[in-house]
Amino acid sequence: MSLAILGTGMAVPGRRVTNDDLAQVMDTSDAWIRERTGIGSRYLSTTENTSDLGTQAALNALKDAKIDPSTIDGILCATLTPDAMMPSTAALIQAKLGLKAQRCLAFDLNAACSGFLLALQTADALIQAGSAKRMLVIGAETLSKILDYSDRSTAVLFGDGAGCFVVEAAQGTQMTHFANTEGDLEETLITESLALNPELTNHPSEVPYLRMKGQAVFRFAVKAVEDALTQVCIKRGISVNDLDLIIPHQANARIIRHVADKMGLPIERFVMNLEEYGNTSSASIPIAYTHAKASGRLRPGMTMALVGFGAGLTWAATLIELKEDTTCY
């Protein structure tokens, strides 16, 4: 028995911010951002919080799955930007979906940009253990809350959004998981509270901001994606060449192209939609999956890998083999 994906959905805030829009408020340009990252725009929240985006993605996934929401008995939300320290964003989403009268486990987990894949693994384990039957696995972020718009090397990269899978134990797909962590004392990718000049940022100084050593993250990411793909394929007893489709965390087109080159895999096998959404951290993989599905890139019988990397440092992959006769993806 393995997990079947009954439906998927995504949501982004209403406000699309292009590179040219950013160039109005900081010293950057569309040409620089596109060349170094492949990003053309991102969606930034004005009023939506993480639970709002997570709820909308869940509603879209439930609609896609064509199931009665009252049959959901578990909600996991991967996020590094929760609405609050407590209650969990997953519990808020349960209430916003109107599901609070039913038995339902709900909690958040944080593995930064690898978070969605850790949540999917956790859901698989919880369902195999009999703790839940049908779950919402959500990755949701409002990274705009922790971006320092005076730091052009990080602020241009990230966007807000959410993605959701509805999963249950069933025939239809076979999943194999891999995850690893290398606790980082070098502060490669962290949030920290800084006393920023309020005249420049208009943010209170106690807000923790995202800080990153870009080139170190780039080197880590290329190694991590290759390692996760290789390890998950070894675990399943297949070759990376057997992968029909790879849905990587959407951080940077250059990272994805480097990996494709290094592993000798055609770039066409990699799904990329970061030009539109930027890096939405734990939301990026389910958003990219939902896009790939909507554009007809997923087919029964296909073997695909979802692969993520992020702060921690963490990296993870899930191999999904769709049966020839499945309608679950």
Ligand X SMILES: CC(C)(COP(=O)(O)OP(=O)(O)OC[C@H]1O[C@@H](n2cnc3c(N)ncnc32)[C@H](O)[C@@H]1OP(=O)(O)O)[C@@H](O)C(=O)NCCC(=O)NCCS
| Residue among 19, 233, 279, 291 flagged as catalytic | 279
Q: Segment near ligand X (CB under 6 A), from 122-130, 198-206, 214-222, 295-303? A: 214-222
Residue at 64: amino acid letter = D
How far is Cα 48 from Cα 61, in angstroms, rounded to an integer? Answer: 19
Q: Which of residues 270-299 bind ligand X (CB under 6 A)?
A: 279
Q: Does residue 279 carry a catalytic annotation?
A: yes
The residue number whose beta carbon is nearest to ligand X equals: 214
How far is Cα 164 from Cα 160, in angstroms, rounded to an integer? Answer: 14
The answer to the question of residue 214 lying near ligand X (CB under 6 A) is yes
Rank residues 136 and 259 by Cβ distance to ligand X and give the closer one: 259
For 237, residues 6+ apart whose C-beta sits below 8 A from its C-beta are none
Residue at 12: amino acid letter = V
- Determine how β-strand 105-109 pairs with β-strand 74-78: parallel
Q: Which of residues 129-188 bind ligand X (CB under 6 A)?
A: 152-153, 156-157
How far is Cα 137 from Cα 318, in angstroms, rounded to an integer? Answer: 14
Q: What three-state secondary structure class fits 76?
A: strand
Q: Which of residues 49-108 bind ligand X (CB under 6 A)?
A: none
Shortest CB 26 distance to ligand X, Å = 7
Q: How many chain residues bind ligand X (CB under 6 A)?
A: 20
| CA-closest candidate to residue 58, choices 33, 89, 32 | 89
The answer to the question of residue 37 lying near ligand X (CB under 6 A) is yes
DSSP state of 279: B
Q: Identify the residue whose tokens are 């980082």.
A: 184
Q: Identify the residue whose tokens are 């997990």.
A: 3
Q: Segment near ligand X (CB under 6 A), from 119-127, 211-219, 266-274, 289-297? A: 211-219
Shortest CB 27 distance to ligand X, Å = 7
Shortest CB 222 distance to ligand X, Å = 10
Rank residues 49 and 188 by Cβ distance to ligand X and give the closer one: 188
The answer to the question of residue 219 lying near ligand X (CB under 6 A) is no
How far is Cα 322 from Cα 329, in angstroms, rounded to an integer? Answer: 8
Number of residues that this document lists for the chain:
329
The tokens for 119 are 């949540």
Q: Does residue 113 carry a catalytic annotation?
A: yes
Which residues of this protein are in contact with ligand X, per CB under 6 A? 28, 32-33, 36-37, 113, 152-153, 156-157, 212, 214-215, 217-218, 221, 251-252, 279, 310
